Chains A and B, each alone.
Chain A
Amino acid sequence: MPDVTTPSPDMVAAGQPGPGTDREFTVRRRSQSSLVLRRFLQHRLAVVSLGVFLLLVVLSLFGETLWHYKSTDITDDLSVAPSAKHPMGTDSTGHDLLAQVLAGTRISILVALMVAALSTAFGTVFGAISGFYGGRTDALMMRFVDLLLTIPSLAILITLSTLLANGGGDPVTIALILASLSWLSIARVIRGLFLSLREKEYVEAARCLGATDRRIIFRHLLPNAVGPIIVNATITVAFAILAETGLSYLGFGIKFPSTSLGLLISVGQSAASTRPWLFYFPGLVIILIALTINFVGDGLRDALDPQQRRVRA
């Protein structure tokens, strides 16, 4: 019998891969994030939506400086229909609507992003603690969340708006008010996620090594929860856009001297039949923002958690 190429009796060779077995890395070395990115890029609708959304953001940030009218400028053209000079027309005071829509978009997006950031931060911490510790702590914290969720949100928002901001005001206050409700659903999702993540074997392994709770939460659980956190954050942005619009429309949100798309709709609503451009342009932009964010959220969700059909070999 031909001699087996005996590896050295060293224990290292007890499992040393044979010659030429670096073939095991034939799958190109890819980190998790580039895999996610690749999957996202295959989702054409999401990519296009992301592009449109970013375009809107850029326009809203820089558009006003580039456009020769400011949102507060009063021109001589009163209630003019859309034309080359005023692509979105003007209102009864002579404000250029395009400039106003740009300004309003900026504020609305700003508020939405702030709401997402605040509620994600708070909701994640709350849900993480509740899900990780479980037991009585979890029961108490979740009953509190359930309680808040049963109260009609609109009622809370209007009440808060009246109490804190005299019925509306600057973007930061409105963002805080909206965030005070939107953290609830994030907390629930993260809590469920942590409840299941903490049962994972690598968490048990960390505990076995002597890791403290703090280390487990920050080093093991949170990095593995990033996916759902991001998806929830995008959902919150979509929610916040529409919520702020609704609140401002009702008159409890952004108020003069700030402007927002909701405010523009509210003001333009009465003229919808005679001067439709005052109503429909801001409305279209709102719809556009909400749609693009939803599609981006879909794409992210698919990229982070692909549904694969497994075939055993």
Chain B
Amino acid sequence: MTTEPVLQVRNLVKHFPVRGGGIVRRTVGQIHAVCDVSFDVHQGETLGLVGESGCGKSTTGRAVLNLQPATSGEVLYDGKDVTQLTGNALRAVRRDMQLVFQDPYASLNPRMTINDIVAEPLVIHHLGGSTSARRETVQELLRMVGLNPEHGNRYPHEFSGGQRQRIGIARAMALEPKVLVLDEPVSALDVSIQAGVVNLLEALQDRLGLSYLFIAHDLSVVRHTADRVAVMYLGRIVELAKRDDLFTRPAHPYTRALLSAIPIPDPRKERERKRIVLAGDVPSPAAPPSGCRFRTRCQVFRDQLDDTQRAACIEQQPLLEDRGIGHEVACHYPDVEKVV
């Protein structure tokens, strides 16, 4: 694994307008889904992008691929800014960057056979030669993801969730992409099936040298697969670290609370664990708090700071930088605490 970033995201912003009622429907507000997000994905690595619902991770993934037009910012791939591409130039980049969807039941067209679904990318880009050559490629792809190619002329509803997800992966791999954005690829699958798909993704990465942006809310899966992890809260990255660093030395209060809340299938450990329970609800992304967005729920803000210290949290937005911890944190008062 070299240190060359294959994908660079700089100051990505995505706002959704909230329209009022009436005939004209003027814009009355903005939903700040993604606010000033920057990260790199290096060749051959898996960057985990984690957070709870509403943090903006899925929107980030879509914006990186220009499936959702970004409000501002850049996504640099191969010297080009993906957010500025359209038409054929965008279609060309799509061959290198693909998306694996979360829902194996909705992401496959119920009226198309598996062969057609997996062959579609080849057809769209006029690749793969004749129909029979394409058919062979499709069979090869199905074998690669662990499916029996003889079942290629069946329809999606005849397969299980795990198999459908493999079909989705085969489809994404048809164009031989270099970067895969994986949007919660195993969340919708049964527990015993998840492992198989995760193993498949890792095997594919090893064999083909792929780079992954792995979006998930399940930190246990991310612990297993990622090389580096970025934690998002309400549209911003609050902590970015190498995998082991994040899990053994989390510094941001949100990361610490998040890790402490995740149950471990080990009764003794669960009984001994200290759980940090956050107060209140996630604020609305249409009206995020001033300064640090996490301060309304932050256990450190609530219990450990005095008023002058709190003023900093209320007025200044903390930047994502290394404050001597060893990895980047966006907090005025970060503190390493082992919670796992």
Contacts and interface: CB of A to CB of B under 8 A. Distances in A.
B124 A224 contact: no
A15 B112 CA distance: 24
Contacts of B168: 205
A215 B126 CA distance: 13
Nearest to B201: A14
B166 interface: yes
Interface string B97-128: 01101010011111110000000110011000
A158 B124 CA distance: 49
Interface string A206-217: 111111100100
A14 B196 contact: yes
B152 to A, nearest CB: 13
A24 B160 contact: yes
A219 B112 CA distance: 9
A44 interface: no
Contacts of B121: 209-210
B124 A215 contact: yes
Contact of B108 (A12, A16, A202, A209): A202
Nearest to B163: A24
B146 A201 contact: no
Contact of B91 (A27, A200, A210, A224): A210
B77 interface: no
A106 to B, nearest CB: 36
Contacts of A224: 109-111
Interface residues of B, number: 47
Given A204-B67, A210-B125, A12 B111 contact: no
Interface string B178-204: 000000000000000000110110011
Contacts of A207: 67
Interface in A203-241: 204-212, 215, 219-220, 223-224
Contacts of A32: 110-111, 155, 157
B12 to A, nearest CB: 18
A14 B199 contact: yes
A14 B200 contact: yes
Residue among A209, A219, A220 facing the most chain B CB atoms (10 A cut-off):
A209
A31 interface: yes
A15 B200 contact: yes
Interface in B188-240: 196-197, 199-200, 203-204, 206-207
Interface residues of A, number: 30
A15 B67 contact: no
B101 A15 contact: no
B323 interface: no
Nearest to B120: A209
A25 interface: yes
Nearest to A223: B111
A7 B258 CA distance: 36
Contacts of B124: 209-212, 215
A66 interface: no
Contacts of A4: none
Nearest to A222: B111
B138 to A, nearest CB: 14
B143 A201 contact: no
B184 to A, nearest CB: 12
A15 B120 contact: no
A15 B94 CA distance: 27
B144 interface: yes
Contacts of A219: 112
Contacts of B249: none
Contacts of A140: none
B197 A205 contact: no
A201 B108 CA distance: 8
B145 interface: yes
A155 interface: no
Contact of B158 (A27, A209, A211, A223): A27
A201 B103 contact: yes
B65 interface: yes
B32 interface: no
A185 B91 CA distance: 37
A13 interface: yes
Nearest to B143: A12
A163 interface: no
Nearest to A25: B158
Interface in B127-163: 143-146, 148, 151, 154-155, 157-160, 162-163
Contact of B107 (A13, A16, A205): A205
A21 to B, nearest CB: 10
B243 interface: no
Nearest to A205: B107
Interface string B54-75: 0000000000010100000000
Nearest to A24: B160
Contacts of B65: 208
B256 interface: no
B15 interface: no
Nearest to B113: A31
Closest 7 CB pairs of A and B: A11-B203, A15-B146, A15-B196, A201-B106, A210-B91, A223-B111, A14-B199
6 contacts: A11-B207, A15-B145, A15-B166, A31-B155, A209-B124, A224-B110
Interface of A: 11-17, 24-25, 27, 29, 31-32, 200-202, 204-212, 215, 219-220, 223-224
Given A15-B146, A24-B163, A211-B124, 4 more contacts: A15-B200, A201-B106, A204-B101, A205-B99
